[in-house]
Chains A and B, each alone.
Chain A
């Protein structure tokens, strides 16, 4: 640990804090259809879109209508991507002549991008054509993010409105997310990334001569050994910057290259690194302010933000501290940070980022359901590796995915209000809305879905041949790999303990199911809550009202998240990373 490292983490934190209010305010204006400075340009475009699509933007929907539109839109988009992947070899912009994808992989990927997960069971540069990347994957990066934001706004409306049957218009919310927020920001940020050296082209891959030819020893099937000298390298190219911006801003995380944000063409400098991390947290953090603004309780927005911030800081401190400590098994090796070396556990890390920015990136990308990585999570020391695992297990609500983080958090708010609300001697109320059986049922259902998905699939995988075939390490680390894969997919994160080979029929299909459950099965109950809350009367605030503001509520919310969200996984965690950590300290590695 270095002062410089802590300072960079602190700086990042301050920047997130500074962004929250202005951006949150902007989101509020966009969704409440208040005038913004972009209206002169975008209003005509918006009207045109509605006219072409035959959308009546004045008509609002109830929660079922909203949910149905969302499912319809996502379903059609999903099939479209599947078709593109299955036919890419006949489509344009395929200079590498990459073949069509196998059905299971195409299905997995289509689901993965539709659900904002961006789990990648494949190596993009050798699998996806430029057309698939741009028309298929990038399209989903935008739409899945826009859908998530629309859902969050619909849920906030449910909390904020009183005696209302409707919670907004899905098409309008999605269109406005896209036009006012995602597209303009991506243009600016894409250019900012280009300024740092992120590539943007449609040229075929480049052949480069190696400065230092490499000799590789090969062993043939009959046991005879031969040597091979490699003198050239293929350098992948592509329209990266445009994709990189939305990959971060939309908390998608699907890399243009296999190495994701560790690749120098995706994330070349510490500045681009900082920018990318800020892009991940920007919208999820701002949405808390939007929540406060729309519900008329700015303090509540900040209380929710504080709970997220508290969990984030805990994670990053643990990750940075344990990674700096390094691997105790490297006895006699000096792993302290100094002028000349980064120190700590540098396995799987980029030298240009070092420990602090890697630990920070890991925490950020898993707190938010982004899943982009700038270092190999598989190579983290066990406890630091447990941080991203727990972050995702909590339900991707520590800032979380764009939109999904906020509505996931609202489910925990409702649970916290219900569990502790009775303690003030009234029927629990959330901002004046009584929390009753139906709301509790839906909240429990929403949380159940992701916990059960993770546990059941992981438990099956860990005792079946098909599941065990994918892991690359024995012992507790193998357990962590499987647990991470299902946690990441059910949480719609998309990062992985990269050692796992998930491009098998078993993993492609089960992970796809986990992703679908984690996204759509979890959000329908939340929409139901929103619809139910919107219809309720609002009890005016009094001294007897349960406070959903202030440090007390923040502590309560964190406790409920930790106890309900994380304790479920304590047994499996103790057999995975915790055991691995203890064994590592005792000198045993996997």
Chain B
């Protein structure tokens, strides 16, 4: 992640982001933009009204100018602070977009015509369906699919990962992204997207927030905030007649101050920043969400479908034990196994060499004098091995070895067969080793469950999320690994259609399902899942079907995605609760201040013992403005997420943000009041 340009984006120019954000906060004062946020729009209208009244008071020489001026200024600050929060959140995305834009710089493309001739033209002229040739050191001009050839590609512009990746025609590694660079070889690419619609374009607009649409939850929350705003607007508007009846008519400054303090400005001001920051947190983890809706859905997920390989287990199996046949010593078996594996470059093969080395001290063997002939693995024989010193050593799947020795009339001893069955049952993969058609014994290959995965599943369980392992293994093996990893359930011998059926089945029960996938045959399931995370290494079809793309292609990240989704929702809920709870204290600051002049007895409601009515109102308004600034870091960072059940989480957050929301402004307003009177501002 350190080599990630996006991550760098947040640090390379904090000051620049800050400067831009301040500039944008003013630009966002445009009422046409403000009206999208009803709460802050009301504040802006209030600020305009106080400004007008202030000026007319000044002209007519009446009213308390100093007090009016301060209220007006702080009302403007309130609006600016909210704009600033949004601008800050956007700023980080913009910085990232800038880096990405550089990658999109206009490139030349060599378009291949049907007659085999090529034509040089700018990449912006390419259309979906065109075929281009890209050679080493050239940029790939657009998103596409490799239709011929293999090449190593530098995708660091997108993923931040400097190690090159292999892209080849056919299979699940055929997708290439525009703006990435071919390092070696030459490939033919069929372009799949028109200019302006490429992956990079989408990514840029996503991180910039240009195509940001309000998510369902955000819309619902906005309705609630608008409703509260209307209620409080009327509470304040109707207060004036009551005040007139009581012989204590209120100044426009006091009324607007009360209004602005009561409407939920804290959450209203931070709401969009929270949403943008949530997307941003995903991007920092190299996940691109195609919509905010997907991020939200991630928080709601009930079931995680996880592919066994690469997600729960390390991609590769490792040799963990040798089980010798009767009459063979373990050391002989290990030696034969090691010899058979020297030329085997697969991770499994290497792990056999290593195990023999560690367990039986078989190291530094000099093979050259023995004139070894290595037999590579072939799909036909499903065996590999070595011929040397007149010995034929082979290792392979039990069925393959059985067939191999059966040619010479040999059979697998019963005890070895027992080993094979036991290994399979315990979740491992057995390999047999034979030398000169005599079975030496069994090598046990085991799936290695990723470190710490069990704890993560425990966390998920505590959050009420069920994990389900999908594997092509037989049910016995699957059960063993499921037990070891601590998943709640598993689907063994799974075919792509089964995955789809499983998702439908869970969704019919009202559950939200998340999954990861990379292959083309994962695409339907990715599309069906509520949260479908496609691996960047996967096919174009998979990337199109999912609603998120993980640039690191790390399937375990699904868990983090869920946590980020939850964190986003928690942050929103907590700040809403905090904002609403704040109102109690503000009433106690402003109402006595409004009427203490006419009815000194109402001063008894002044529980904070604020110095003067002006100072009380001013302090409430200042608190209301500063709390927005104060909570920007929390809004951008998100409320710390804890893997707890809903009840525990609710209790905790109710205590911090609910009760805290009631208490904090009492302290804050009192403190500001002391400061205000000390500075003789009111």
Interface residues, chain A, CB within 8 Å of chain B? 162, 415, 418-427, 432, 435-437, 439-441, 444-445, 447-448, 451-452, 455-456, 458-460, 462-463, 475-476, 478-479, 537-540, 542-547, 550, 552, 555-556, 559, 563-564, 567-572, 574-576, 578-579, 582-583, 585-586
Q: Which of B17-25, B100-108, B238-246, B624-632 lies at the binding interface?
A: B238-246
Cβ proximity bits B228-243 to A, threshold 8 Å, 1 near / 0 not: 1011101111111111
Return chain A residues, CB-CB under 8 Å to B646.
Answer: 424-426, 543-547
Interface residue? B145 (CB, 8 A):
no
Return chain B residues, CB-CB under 8 Å to A162.
Answer: 510
Known: A437-B223, A539-B511, A575-B243. A423 touches B573 (CB 8 A): yes
Known: A424-B649, A572-B242. A436 touches B462 (CB 8 A): no
Inter-chain contact B238/A463, CB cutoff 8 Å: no
Inter-chain contact B650/A543, CB cutoff 8 Å: no
Classify chain B: how many residues form its interface, as a range: 35 or more
Tell me the complex Cα distance, A67–B649, Å: 39
Inter-chain contact B234/A426, CB cutoff 8 Å: no
Inter-chain contact B220/A571, CB cutoff 8 Å: no
Indicate which residue in B243, B601, B653 contacts A582 across the interface (CB closer than 8 Å): B601
Query: Could you tell me the distance in whole angstroms from the C-beta of A495 to the nearest C-beta in chain B?
Result: 21
Interface residue? B581 (CB, 8 A):
yes
Query: Could you tell me the distance in whole angstroms from the C-beta of B259 to the nearest C-beta in chain A?
Result: 11
Q: Show 19 residue pairs from A and B whose CB-CB distance is below 8 angstroms, ordered by the A residue.
A: A424-B649, A424-B653, A425-B463, A425-B566, A426-B566, A427-B296, A456-B238, A462-B242, A475-B246, A479-B246, A537-B510, A543-B646, A547-B647, A552-B650, A552-B654, A570-B591, A571-B591, A574-B591, A575-B595
Query: Could you tell me the distance in whole angstroms from the C-beta of A411 to the nearest C-beta in chain B?
Result: 12
Report B251-287 residues with CB < 8 Å from chain A CB: 258, 262
When C-beta atoms are compared, the residue in chain B nearest to A542 turns out to be B464
Cβ proximity bits B633-672 to A, threshold 8 Å, 1 near / 0 not: 0000000010001110111011001100000000000000
Inter-chain contact A572/B604, CB cutoff 8 Å: no
Known: A418-B220, A440-B223. A543 touches B602 (CB 8 A): no
Interface residues, chain B, CB within 8 Å of chain A? 216-217, 219-221, 223-224, 226-228, 230-232, 234-246, 248, 258, 262, 296, 299-300, 302, 461-466, 509-512, 565-567, 569-570, 572-574, 576-577, 580-581, 583-584, 587, 591, 595, 599, 601-602, 604-605, 641, 645-647, 649-651, 653-654, 657-658
Return chain A residues, CB-CB under 8 Å to B601.
Answer: 579, 582-583, 585-586
Inter-chain contact A546/B650, CB cutoff 8 Å: yes
Inter-chain contact B462/A425, CB cutoff 8 Å: no
Indicate which residue in A455, A546, A556 contacts B238 across the interface (CB closer than 8 Å): A455
Return chain A residues, CB-CB under 8 Å to B650.
Answer: 420, 423-424, 546-547, 552, 556
Indicate which residue in B217, B574, B595 contacts A427 across the interface (CB closer than 8 Å): B217
Known: A436-B220, A538-B510, A571-B591. A578 touches B605 (CB 8 A): yes
Indicate which residue in A441, A455, A479 contacts B245 across the interface (CB closer than 8 Å): A479
Return chain B residues, CB-CB under 8 Å to A452.
Answer: 230-231, 234
20 new A-B pairs (CB below 8 Å) besides A423-B650, A444-B227, A448-B230?
A418-B221, A419-B573, A419-B577, A420-B650, A420-B654, A423-B570, A423-B649, A425-B567, A425-B570, A444-B226, A444-B228, A455-B238, A456-B238, A459-B240, A459-B242, A559-B581, A568-B235, A571-B242, A575-B243, A582-B602
Return chain B residues, CB-CB under 8 Å to A575.
Answer: 242-243, 245-246, 248, 595
Indicate which residue in B244, B258, B510, B573 contacts A422 across the interface (CB closer than 8 Å): B573
Inter-chain contact A427/B300, CB cutoff 8 Å: yes
Known: A437-B220, A543-B461, A543-B646. A425 touches B569 (CB 8 A): yes
When C-beta atoms are compared, the residue in chain A nearest to B581 turns out to be A563
When C-beta atoms are compared, the residue in chain A nearest to B656 turns out to be A423
Return chain B residues, CB-CB under 8 Å to A423.
Answer: 570, 573-574, 577, 649-650, 653-654, 657
Return chain A residues, CB-CB under 8 Å to B236.
Answer: 571
Q: Most chain-A CB neighbours within 10 Å: which of B221, B462, B583, B646? A: B646
Query: Could you tell me the distance in whole angstroms from the C-beta of B610 to the nearest C-beta in chain A?
Result: 16
Return chain A residues, CB-CB under 8 Å to B577.
Answer: 419-420, 423
Tell me the complex Cα distance, A546–B300, Å: 12
Inter-chain contact B241/A444, CB cutoff 8 Å: no
Tell me the complex Cα distance, A169–B576, Å: 39
When C-beta atoms are compared, the residue in chain B nearest to A461 turns out to be B241
Tell me the complex Cα distance, A439–B216, Å: 12
Query: Could you tell me the distance in whole angstroms from the C-beta of B255 to the nearest C-beta in chain A?
Result: 10
Return chain A residues, CB-CB under 8 Å to B576.
Answer: 419, 422
Query: Could you tell me the distance in whole angstroms from the C-beta of A126 to the nearest C-beta in chain B?
Result: 32
Closest 5 CB pairs of A and B: A544-B464, A422-B573, A425-B566, A444-B227, A542-B464
Query: Could you tell me the distance in whole angstroms from the C-beta of B541 to the nearest C-beta in chain A?
Result: 29
Inter-chain contact B302/A441, CB cutoff 8 Å: no
Inter-chain contact A455/B658, CB cutoff 8 Å: no
Known: A420-B577, A539-B511. A455 touches B234 (CB 8 A): yes
Query: Could you tell me the distance in whole angstroms from the C-beta of B413 to the nearest C-beta in chain A?
Result: 50
